[in-house]
Amino acid sequence: MGDAILTLNAGSSSLKYALFEAAADRLERVADGEIERIGSAPEDLVTEILDWADGQLGGERLRAVGHRIVHGGAAFTRPVRIDAATVKALEELTPLAPLHQPHNLAAVRAVSKLRADVVQVACFDTAFHHGHAAEVDRFALPREWQADDLRRYGFHGLSYEYIAGRMRELDPALAAGRMVVAHLGNGASLCAIHDGRSVDTTMGLTALDGLVMGTRPGSLDPGLILHLQQARGLTAAALEDGLYRRAGLLGVSGLSGDMRDLLASPDSKAREAIDLFVFRIVRELGGMAASMGGFDGLVFTAGIGAKSAEIRGRVCERLRWLGVELEDAANQRGDGRISAQTSHVSVWALATDEERMIAAHASALIGAGSDQAASRWRIR
């Protein structure tokens, strides 16, 4: 076996993990899993996963553990080896990603305690979006506030990077052109990708921005926040709880933040939430296309995007004026190209694989001693 790489994607309620073998130009998934509705301490879960990995390796040594870290701020623009200074710097970004950053770092600390000799690598959801034009990321705020790195960062970068690489294999011409990728899950965003590079995205400083999500509202009028503070007396803590945990699909429907529940529900409030979700995708997609001067392809991915034919169909129906046409049978299958031959825009449904991107980055980093691009690894 070549280098063994374990990936950990720690969230607020689940922990995804995967074990990869990296050798030469191959990156092969050995096994993977997910622990949902986690109630145990991170150290207990990580102990179980490390023991599981040891059993899979059959005596081979675990070379590295790669982590998904949601917010890298301005300082972290590519994967890095984790040390104490890295953890401290990432802790300071927790207010910008309170749902994710604490859980990401808890997994890092657990591995450090249990396997101090294993290299750990941080891979950032924000990194793919570095390099935007200045006007894309700037807020129209007083200049003296800009020193605090208040700017748009964007998220879901590991997913977008995977899809960009996968499309280079499936449709090189489209991958070199203008794609809008819709990462639709409990967290949701769009990314405008031109020739494999992010040029715009719907999320901003935090993961609250952009589309309607499971429990997050997406873009809001800043005056609404002022109103809630002044007229209702809401504290910063109450606002954080409401905006991160009780808004979005859950807030509008009053039923659930899970799209599967809403699609199955006969309740009119569920339909209201779905209608808003679709409307905001279509509206924001127009902005992504404008940032590229048009678009040649649309790729749906993540839990809703890759799995819900109904949501894909409803979004594309509202894009017919742009020449978007689905092939119904292909949309129901939901794997690969789903647009009709007569469609002016190529439409795809693809599963994403953040764990594979984490493993590719970790292996490139430890193998070369420098953070070279992970593009040397075949995506599948």
Q: State pLDDT tens for residues 96-151.
A: 999 899 999 999 999 999 999 999 999 999 999 999 999 999 999 998 888 778 99
Residue 16 counted as domain residue: yes
- How confident is the model at residue 2, as a pLDDT? 66
- Cβ-based neighbour number of residue 334 at 10 Å: 18
Residue 162 counted as domain residue: no
- How confident is the model at residue 234, as a pLDDT? 95
Who contacts 13 (Cβ-Cβ below 8 Å, separation ≥6)? Answer: 36, 37, 38
- How confident is the model at residue 109, as a pLDDT? 94
Q: How many domains are contained in the chain?
A: 2
**pLDDT at residue 377 is higher than 60:** no
Q: What confidence tier does 379 reach under pLDDT thresholds 50, 70, 90? A: very low
Q: State pLDDT tens for residues 48-75.
A: 999 999 999 887 889 999 999 999 999 9
Same domain, 191 and 116: no
Q: State pLDDT tens for residues 174-232.
A: 999 999 999 999 999 999 999 999 999 999 999 999 999 999 999 999 999 999 999 99
Which letter does DSSP use for residue 11 in this model?
A: -
**pLDDT at residue 373 is higher than 50:** no
- Cβ-based neighbour number of residue 355 at 10 Å: 24
Look at 24 and 110; give whichever has higher pLDDT: 110
Q: What confidence tier does 23 reach under pLDDT thresholds 50, 70, 90? A: confident
Q: What confidence tier does 38 reach under pLDDT thresholds 50, 70, 90? A: low
Q: What is the DSSP string of 95-126?
A: GG-TTTHHHHHHHHHHHHHH-TTSEEEEEETT
C-beta separation of 178 from 210 below 8 A: no
**pLDDT at residue 378 is higher than 60:** no
Residue 154 counted as domain residue: no
- How confident is the model at residue 240, as a pLDDT? 95
- How confident is the model at residue 40, as a pLDDT? 57
The sign one gets for the Cα dihedral 198, 303, 73, 149 is: positive
- Residues 332-361 have a mean pLDDT of 96
Same domain, 318 and 199: yes
Same domain, 57 and 111: yes
Quick one: tokens of 240? 């954080």
CATH code of the domain covering residue 264: 3.30.420.40
Same domain, 113 and 191: no
**pLDDT at residue 336 is higher than 90:** yes
Same domain, 319 and 188: yes
Quick one: tokens of 181? 């990728």
C-beta separation of 121 from 111 below 8 A: no
Same domain, 47 and 66: yes
- Active site amino acids: 125
Residue 338 counted as domain residue: yes
Same domain, 93 and 230: no
C-beta separation of 190 from 282 below 8 A: no
**pLDDT at residue 153 is higher than 70:** yes
Q: What confidence tier does 39 reach under pLDDT thresholds 50, 70, 90? A: low
C-beta separation of 267 from 249 below 8 A: no
Same domain, 14 and 79: yes
d(CA 117, CA 266): 54
Residue among 230, 206, 93, 211 nearest 151 (CA): 206
Who contacts 225 (Cβ-Cβ below 8 Å, separation ≥6)? Answer: 239
Same domain, 343 and 359: no
d(CA 50, CA 6): 9
Range of the domain at 68: 3-124+355-376
- How confident is the model at residue 146, as a pLDDT? 80
Quick one: tokens of 248? 């979005």
Residue 323 counted as domain residue: yes
Same domain, 191 and 337: yes
d(CA 348, CA 190): 14
Percent of the chain with pLDDT over 90: 83
Who contacts 295 (Cβ-Cβ below 8 Å, separation ≥6)? Answer: 178, 179, 180, 192, 288, 289, 345
Q: What confidence tier does 24 reach under pLDDT thresholds 50, 70, 90? A: low
**pLDDT at residue 368 is higher than 80:** no
- How confident is the model at residue 37, as a pLDDT? 65
Same domain, 104 and 197: no
The sign one gets for the Cα dihedral 251, 70, 281, 218 is: positive
Residue 77 counted as domain residue: yes
Same domain, 113 and 251: no
**pLDDT at residue 157 is higher than 60:** yes
- How confident is the model at residue 241, as a pLDDT? 95
